Structure 1
Amino acid sequence: MTVTTLTPKTQASTTFHHCRAALGDRVLRLQDEPLAILKGLYRLGALVVTTFADGGRVSQSMRYPALLSGEEDLESRGSQCRLNQHLNLPLWRSVMAVLAPVADLPARSLLFFDRFGEPVQQMAVAPETGGLAFEELVCAMLHPDQRQLGAPPPRLPTLPKAVPSVAELERQWSHGDDEGFGELLARVGDRRQVLYQAVRDKFACPVRAETVPSLLALASRREYGYTVCTGNSGVKLCLTAPWSAPRWQKGHCHLAHNGVLVSLDMGRVASVWRLRRPGAGRVVTALEGLDAQGRWLWTLSGGEDENAWLELLGDSLIQEGAPGRRMA
């Protein structure tokens, strides 16, 4: 079994440093009350929301719903699509208001960071939106100190944990639900590749990277709606839609549907796995992309028609180490 050494991140993101350098001029620091600010976003009208996923970015045009206390899941449905956002609010920390463009950050936008200075989401007021709601929200939540912004703490590496026996891993995998699967991942420090390499064949199987463009192109031709899940420590997005044909540009795969743009950074993908695990009344089959440290980047899974998804996988998957050999 291969155990990957994790490299700590010792400094905040470039985005955080851009905001810090422009503080008090083009950028204002808001109070460290992200939940209260999220509750006020529904008054801003149309927003362009960008999620900074570890494996890419997701941009969407939307009207932010009114957020209730204790609410961590936001779901919206269209005639052909479904969006679910799970917010891990305890990890949201500082908030910045961008008044004028800074680097690639648009004016009249809010930036939410986690405690390590990594961006979670950016919410920009759409150009066609008028009114003073943005300015009113900024003034109401303004932080008293606009001169200093301390450096966030370094992100310490996750210490390796003892991996249970293969028999125990298989037992937990077979009988767990989504929550149980999350607990299983936590036991290996979210180093999914360690888990997948341990259980292998029956539950997890590596596939060739060429599987991904083959699958996405075939899904577009068949007009099949599938689910893309990605995100970061503070928010996880799952979007189900009949996505456009994939557009490839400098190692990024772009998928679009009705105002939503998913950009997956395929250069970060070190391995792709086909997984089978229990779901709500059925076995869920999915593809997952992992980075070089064995950490999660994104998941591709079925939409409303699971049988059509399985047929799509059977026509697209190419097993690792077996060129040209397709697998069901």
Structure 2
Amino acid sequence: MSLNLYHRYLNEKQQQPHSYARDLAAMLGVSEAELTAARVGHDAVRLADNPKAILAALADAGELKAITRNAQAVHEVTGAYLEQQLDGHVGLLLNPGGVDLRLFFSQWHSAFALCEETPRGPRHSLQFFNRHGEAVHKIYATAQTNMTVWQQLLTDFQSPESAPLALSPATPTQYANEVDTVRLEQEWRAMTDVHQFYLLLHRHRLSRQQAFNHVCDELAQRVDNQALPRLLEQLQQQANPIMIFVANSGCVQIFTGRVQEVSPLRGWLNIFNPNFTLHIKAEEIAESWITRKPTVDGIVTSLELFAADGTQIAQLFGQRQEGEPEQPIWREQLAQLLTTG
């Protein structure tokens, strides 16, 4: 089965040389993890399912490229895997302006190392998947990576090729059918930290959009889906620093800094900075919301983008340090999105 899938992959790749593995897997009717497993023995190696130890070993590898994506957004940051806190339920890499990650290890299920031949030479990567076969995080070596450390990692963590994936189908989250709008808004207004919003949603068994639709416009207000390109144009011109979050089931990746170059290309809206790249399928933004959440430092305002199936594509915030109020210019930029359409 794996050999047959591998040959089908080679044929599809020859027909679609510019398609990514995620897209090729979809064309072949399998998950990306299944396709990667079929490449073991060719250009892939199975690694031990021990992401905390693998990430810890990367602290000495120097420069790496971190990639976290979902179906509509790809977030790429180049930097070092330093300032790691991996002991808790949620792992942290705290490098604002660099590789800044929140890692939900309960979702990390399998790991592989790949060495792919490209016109520019071998491309080395570590790729991690959830139990549904979806990629949660990928790490690529760069020209500045310490390849001695990288190769030692492969030696230390290589797993038997026959290790089964044991994938399971994803099940949709069951949300509440009724909403106590009064209590929801009271608890929203009583928040003192933006992270409390996740607990609020959990208590009420609501999706983010359900919550947004059941509070007043002062807390959450829907805007036109051209909000993102208009906002990025302002950010490029005014050069105030922001934060961009892209997440999937197992990882949140954060960029902190200024937007330098914005470029639409073949249906993607792109940001190109020296050490940061963002790609968003602009046409697949189905809902855009401006939200306001109370904190001990004042209101924190964000732009949140969603796909048609309700999954979150990305979040954007004004950069701020804990203990500081939000940037006035950021609030003004989002306020302008409410008056244009």
TM exceeds 0.5? yes
Q: Among residues 128, 145, 149, which one is paired with 1:129 in the alignment?
A: 145
TM-score relative to the length of structure 2: 0.81
Cα offset, 1:231, TM superposition: 1.3
- On the 8 A contact 2:222/2:289 being kept in 1, the answer is yes
1:171 matched residue in structure 2? 186
- In the TM superposition, residue 246 of structure 1 has moved relative to its aligned partner by 1.8
Counterpart check, 1:74 vs 2:76 = no
1:309 maps to 330
2:170 corresponds in structure 1 to 155
Partner of 2:69: 52
Matches within 5 A, 1:1-328: 14-65=31-82, 67-70=84-87, 72-77=91-96, 81=97, 84-101=100-117, 107-144=123-160, 146-147=161-162, 149-176=164-191, 177-187=193-203, 189=205, 191-304=207-320, 306-318=327-339, 324=340
CA distance in 2 between counterparts of 1:166 and 1:215 reads: 30
AA matched with 2:186: R
Contact kept, 8 Å, 1:190 with 1:295, in 2: the verdict is no
AA at the equivalent of 2:34: H
CA shift at 1:205, angstroms? 0.9
- In the alignment, the residues of structure 2 paired with residue 190 and residue 52 of structure 1 have an alpha-carbon distance, to the nearest angstrom, of 24
Partners of 1:190 and 1:295 lie apart in 2 by: 13
Structure 2, gaps ≥5 residues long: 1-25, 321-325
Q: What CA RMSD, in Å, does the superposition of the two structures yield over aligned residues?
A: 2.6
Q: Deviations along 1:62-99, whole A, 9 cap, x unmatched?
A: 1211635516222224xxx4763211122212100113
Q: What is the CA–CA distance in structure 2 between the aligned matches of 1:261 and 1:26, rounded to whole Å?
A: 26
Alpha-carbon offset, residue 34 of structure 1: 1.0
Residues in 1 aligned to 2:271 and 2:198: alpha-carbon distance in whole angstroms: 27
Summarize the Cα distance change of 1:138–1:82 in structure 2 as closer, same or farther, 3 Å threshold: closer
Q: Distance in 2 between matches of 1:238 and 1:89?
A: 17
Identity of aligned residues (%): 24
Shift of 1:138: 0.9
Q: 1:271 to 1:280 in 2, by over 3 A?
A: same
Partner SS, residue 317 of structure 1: helix
Deviation of the 1:112 alpha carbon = 0.8
| Contact 1:50-1:121 at 8 Å conserved across structures | yes
How far residue 187 of structure 1 moved from its aligned partner, in angstroms, is 4.3
Between the aligned partners of 1:268 and 1:192, the Cα distance in structure 2 is 18
The answer (yes or no) to whether the contact 2:131–2:166 under 8 Å persists in 1 is no
Which of structure 1's runs of 4+ aligned residues deviate more than 4 A? 11-14, 187-190
User: What is the distance in 2 between the residues matched to 1:221 and 1:265?
Assistant: 22
Partner residue of 1:6?
none
For residues 140 and 300 of structure 1, the distance between their equivalents in structure 2, rounded to whole angstroms, comes to 38
Which digits, 9 at most, give the CA deviation of each residue in 1:243-298, with x for residues without a partner? 12421112211113331111122233101011111124201111111111323221
Deviation, structure 1 residue 19: 0.8
* Aligned partner letter, 2:278: V
Displacement, 1:142?
Answer: 1.2
| One-letter code aligned to 1:37 | I
Distance 1:75 1:209 in 2: 31
User: How far did residue 130 of structure 1 move?
Assistant: 5.0
Deviations 1:294-321 (A, max 9, x none): 2322111212461111122233434xxx
User: Is the CA contact (8 Å cut-off) linking 1:56 and 1:265 kept in structure 2?
Assistant: yes
Between 135-144 and 49-58, the greater mean CA deviation after superposition: 49-58
Structure 1 letter corresponding to 2:182:
A
Structure 1 length as normaliser, TM-score?
A: 0.84
- The separation in 2 between residues aligned to 1:141 and 1:171, in whole angstroms, is 50
